[in-house]
Amino acid sequence: MKIIIDKINSEPKHSLSKKELQLILSKIPINYVNTFVTFKISSQMFSNSGWDRPVIKNNETYNILSRGLDKKYIIKELLIEIFLNHTHINFYISAHKINSDRRKKLDDMVNPYFEEIIKDIEVN
């Protein structure tokens, strides 16, 4: 597994640090992310991306567009994307969009991990 952080020279800053990302990944089951995957904290602004979610997996890279966004929101979105790609549940996805019923199911799946991660990050 590889973590890449794009350098930025202006505001807003990234919402997640490499250390926080490593903490998040340490809290999910080890088999949810294979060793060949890359996590890229992108310099791109979510508002300029054209995507409906700030975390999208393309091929073997999780693109995290966190600049200026709430840390808790990004953590939840990252967990949802990881669970979505690991479970291979037949979610309706069109152009990277998840319908609201499936989104609710994913939220329910990730909430126990999310709560634990938030507690750990807020302590540090």
Instruction: Round to whole Å and give the CA distance between 66 and 85.
Output: 19
Q: pLDDT tens digits for 65-114?
A: 999 999 999 999 999 999 988 876 555 555 556 777 788 888 999 999 99
In the prediction, which pLDDT does 51 show?
87
| CA atoms of 105 and 17, how far apart (whole Å) | 28
pTM of the predicted protein model: 0.89
The helix, strand and coil proportions of the chain, stated in percent and rounded to the nearest 5, come to 45, 15, 40
HSE (side-chain half, CA atoms, 13 Å) at 83: 24
> Could you state, in order of their start, the residue ranges of all structural domains in the chain?
2-123
SS3 55: strand
